[in-house]
Amino acid sequence: MTRTARELLETTTGELAPDPGANPLVPLIARGGADRSVLTALALEQSWVIPADRRAFLRLAERADPESAAYFTALAEGEALAAEHLKTFTAACGADEAQADAYTPLPGCQSYPAYVAWLALNAEPPDAVLALTANFSAWGGYCATIAEALRTHYGFGDEACAFFDFFAAPAPDLDRAAVEAVRTAMDEGRLNERRAHRYARLLQSYEAMFWRALAQPA
């Protein structure tokens, strides 16, 4: 039986769900056990990740078919909005501009955006759509957990939590764009599922590296 694009996206997301033990930091934040310095580091690492991912998504949009381009353009627009929310979270963590400028990011945290940049240069855009969509499910769940913990254990208000709320919220328009991009690629024989799965597994591994690096900084 031939799978639909939505079924393929859902199946891939389920197959690539991260091991619960792959992320040692989010459970620590969830129970209020992470030091506030870790939250500051999270904010500063994301200040490197967000603009890098935005540029990578724009590059993928430039290389893509119209349906995939619409998906990547929407991602890039979302990163621009997230960047504004991130400024508020960073300020709430007590990091000023001088501290941000002096911060040296952790290699383990920056492996993820480096790989997204690799995808922007080398991956076939429909394969990247499938891989990224599978990865974003885990990221959204982490953000929902962090947002709740920030309010419950760390005294952060809604504006300071907006960065995580943004990524935790359902994104039906983006989901539809992903389905349309994958459907078109499937219909035209341009989707390589095995390659997309490989990309997605690497993204999940780099995501896990991000959280482990923050949990155990050098």
pTM, full prediction: 0.95
Instruction: Kindly state whether residue 15 falls inside one of the protein's structural domains.
Output: no
- Residue 38: inside a domain, yes or no? yes
pLDDT of residue 1: 40
pLDDT tens sequence across 82-141? 999 999 999 999 999 899 999 999 999 999 999 999 999 999 999 999 999 988 988 999
Q: How many CB atoms are located within 10 Å of the residue 203 CB?
A: 23
* Whole-number pLDDT of residue 172: 94
Domain containing residue 93: 33-215
Cα separation, 40 vs 46, whole angstroms: 10
CATH number of the CATH domain containing 60: 1.20.910.10
Q: Write down the pLDDT at residue 216.
A: 84
Q: What count of residues does the chain have?
A: 218
Average pLDDT, the chain: 95
d(CA 83, CA 176): 23
- First and final C-alpha spacing in the chain: 50
| pLDDT value of position 217 | 60
Residue 132 is predicted with a pLDDT of 96
Q: pLDDT value at position 45?
A: 98
Q: Cα–Cα–Cα angle for 112, 144, 56, nearest 5°?
A: 30
> Is residue 210 included in any domain, yes or no?
yes
Give a yes or no: residue 195 inside a domain.
Answer: yes
Examine residue 126 and state whether it is found in any structural domain, yes or no: yes
Q: Report if residue 161 sits inside a domain.
A: yes
Which residues in the chain land under pLDDT 50?
1, 218
Q: Is residue 26 part of a domain?
A: no
Predicted local distance difference test score (pLDDT) of residue 20: 72
- Assigned domain for 8 exists: no
Q: State the total domains in the chain.
A: 1
pLDDT for 2: 64
